[in-house]
Amino acid sequence: MSLKPIDSQRSFYHTDYLCGDLFGPANRYRLFREKIWPKLLELGPKLSSLYCEDNGRPAVDPVRLAGVTLLQFMEKVADRAATEHVVYHLGWKYALDLELTYEGFHPTVLVYFRDRLEEKKAERVIFDGVVELLIELGLVKRKGKQRLDSTHILGYVKEMSRLECAMETLRLALEDLEQEVGGSKRPEFWERLWVLYVQSQLDWRLGKTERDRRYRQCGQDMGELLKWMDTHQAKLGELEAVKLLRRVFEEQFEVVEGKLQPTLKRPSRAVCNPHDPDAHYAEKRKKQWVGYKVHVVESVEPSEPAKRKGEPAEHFITEMLTTEAAQDEMAGLAEALKREQEHHEIEPQAMYADAGYVTENTLSQAEQNGMELLGPTRPDPHKGPYNADAFHVDIEKRQAVCPQGNVSTQCSRIRDSYMGTEYYRIEWASQCDSCPVQKQCTRSKSGRRILVVGLRHDLVEKRREEMRKTEFSKSMHPRNGIEGTHSELVRGHGLRRTKYRGLSRVGLSHYFMGAACNVKRYLNLLAFQMRTAALSPA
């Protein structure tokens, strides 16, 4: 698609001439037009670079589509409603600097716009533009303090059993291969597979024995089809449906003593529904879901003076990292900090987080980067008076003192090449033989206690000592506000249940939500300041 230059001339039917007096100084549509729309115009060259200069039919201006999409996520309306608002909603026309007679565009244009942003790897261009505006205004500091937390996202797919997932994957593969494999190219078993998996449906009333038989039969049929393609039609292995079929087959089945058997346990990132292979199963604090996870990073200034009653806080989202549901918090923290530094040169001095982010590795990495990671660390998983917390470990001297006052006699540094980890192995040797609490301290056959700690166990030990003080819980109060941000995104922007499929498309929608949330907060802050100034005596 090609682009036409923006026409700077205005007719007498422009909303600026006819409707300007209808929107007061604190009206959100006027503020959007005066504060946000100029920033979107600055993004014009970046958005225009996604289109061809002189090729194809003329496209709707991408800056206008960016403004419509931003308003769409701010007011939580669907594509069809958004295009109707562009035509009939006077506030939208005024905010987007449109003429009163503007006739709009088809709803699919918004779909193609999101497709183009995803294909060109420009998912965060609008979000970055809003964050840069807040940085220019001094509302977001590059060296300030932030808070971080993650929440689960339900995928836009049905939860399937192993049998349903395998049969649906095979059905999709057969339908895609129908055009590629025709006539004499088809194998002898093609008609049987077509009747079983395309023309028939699974009866949910089947008993367990019959379900198990069908599941094993489905695995055999998947293996037979893949073997035939590898032998006779190797080029078909490049099709996405065939790649997905092979992936599901390897995740759900294995060969044991020459027989095909269902795997006892599928990997954590196994396909749960072939219509969205990126949506994975995860479990956290007795919460189970199939979908994604998003890490929300927000600016916070705990030392700022008390606000006036009703005044919006100056907290803004600086990063929304969408990941697979099974990814841990440690990797999310590292990636979020990396993206902030790459796109906005933000290097926070302190980061508030919960126990999922505060580990030995993250504390060590934060110390190396000159950042303070504020948050509780998880307690030792082993209960009782003789767990790791009961030992005083001196990392520098490589010694440890047990609860009975005995000093360790040996400390070895172990490198586990399989797990990719390093740790210290501390022993007390013969001192354990005559210890009065030997049976309570260890259950090893030798009767000698072995303590395993990380290379920077001193950081964890120091943090656990701080957690025992009453001042620690008070110092963590700024972190609690991130829960309110999650609630705002869920209730006001539909964060909890995505409407899209695929990790990149879900991440694109989250960046739109983050930009919309920031714009709403900024406009609410401006409106409050204007109303307060109007009410205050001169």
The domain that holds 311 is classified in CATH as: 3.30.420.10
Six-digit token string for 290: 């199939």
Give the residue from 299, 290, 355, 51 showing the smallest Cα distance to 153.
290
The amino acid present at 461, given as its one-letter code, is E
Does one domain contain both 206 and 337? no
In the chain, what percentage of residues exceed pLDDT 70? Answer: 96
- Per-residue confidence band for 1, with pLDDT thresholds at 50, 70 and 90: very low
Does one domain contain both 428 and 332? no
Does one domain contain both 430 and 522? no
Q: What is the pLDDT of residues 396-411, one digit of tens each?
A: 888 999 988 899 999 9
Does one domain contain both 297 and 238? no
Could you tell me if residue 114 is inside a domain? yes
In the chain, what percentage of residues exceed pLDDT 90? Answer: 58
Could you tell me if residue 483 is inside a domain? yes
Could you tell me if residue 398 is inside a domain? yes
Does one domain contain both 354 and 501? yes
Does one domain contain both 355 and 482? yes
- Per-residue confidence band for 19, with pLDDT thresholds at 50, 70 and 90: confident
Does one domain contain both 494 and 397? no
Six-digit token string for 477: 């109060």
Does one domain contain both 219 and 316? no
Q: What is the pLDDT of residues 314-348, one digit of tens each?
A: 899 999 999 999 898 989 999 999 999 999 999 99
Phi, psi of 144 (to 5 degrees): -90, -160
Q: Is the pTM of this model over 0.85?
A: yes
Alpha-carbon distances of 141 from 55, 76, 374, 484, rounded to whole Å: 42, 29, 18, 21
Does one domain contain both 368 and 490? yes
Alpha-carbon distances of 466 from 376, 384, 461, rounded to whole Å: 9, 20, 9
Return the pLDDT at 170.
95
Enclosing H/E stretch for 264? none
Could you tell me if residue 324 is inside a domain? yes
* CB contact at 8 A, 517 and 294: no
Q: What is the pLDDT of residues 347-385, one digit of tens each?
A: 999 999 998 899 889 999 999 989 999 999 988 777 777
Q: Which of 262, 295, 325 is the last residue of a domain?
A: 262
Phi, psi of 399 (to 5 degrees): -135, 160
In the chain, the number of structural domains is 4
Point out the least confidently predicted range of 149-163, 291-305, 485-499, 515-529.
291-305
Exposure letters 171-202 (e unless 16+ CB within 10 A, then b) = bbbbebbeeebeeeeebeebeebbebbeeeee
Q: What is the pLDDT of residues 155-207, one digit of tens each?
A: 999 999 999 999 999 999 999 998 888 766 788 899 999 999 999 888 888 89
- Indicate the pairing of strand 421-427 with strand 450-454: antiparallel
Place of tokens 């009961």: 390
Alpha-carbon distances of 156 from 277, 416, 536, rounded to whole Å: 11, 40, 50
**CA angle, corner 209, sides to 208 and 213, nearest 5?**
115
Does one domain contain both 509 and 417? no
The total number of residues shown for the chain amounts to 538
CA distance 231 to 191: 19
CA distance 33 to 523: 11
Point out the least confidently predicted range of 61-75, 135-149, 417-431.
417-431
How much is the mean pLDDT over the chain? 89
Could you tell me if residue 171 is inside a domain? yes
Q: Which of 459, 486, 503 is the last residue of a domain?
A: 459
Q: Could you tell me which residues come within 8 angstroms of residue 386 by beta carbon, excluding any fewer than 6 positions away?
A: 403, 437, 440, 441, 442, 449
Could you tell me if residue 275 is inside a domain? no
Range of the domain at 234: 162-262
Could you tell me if residue 129 is inside a domain? no
Enclosing H/E stretch for 253? strand 253-256
Q: How far apart are the first and last CA of the chain?
A: 55
Could you tell me if residue 469 is inside a domain? no
Does one domain contain both 229 and 296? no
Helix extents (H) in 259-328:
none
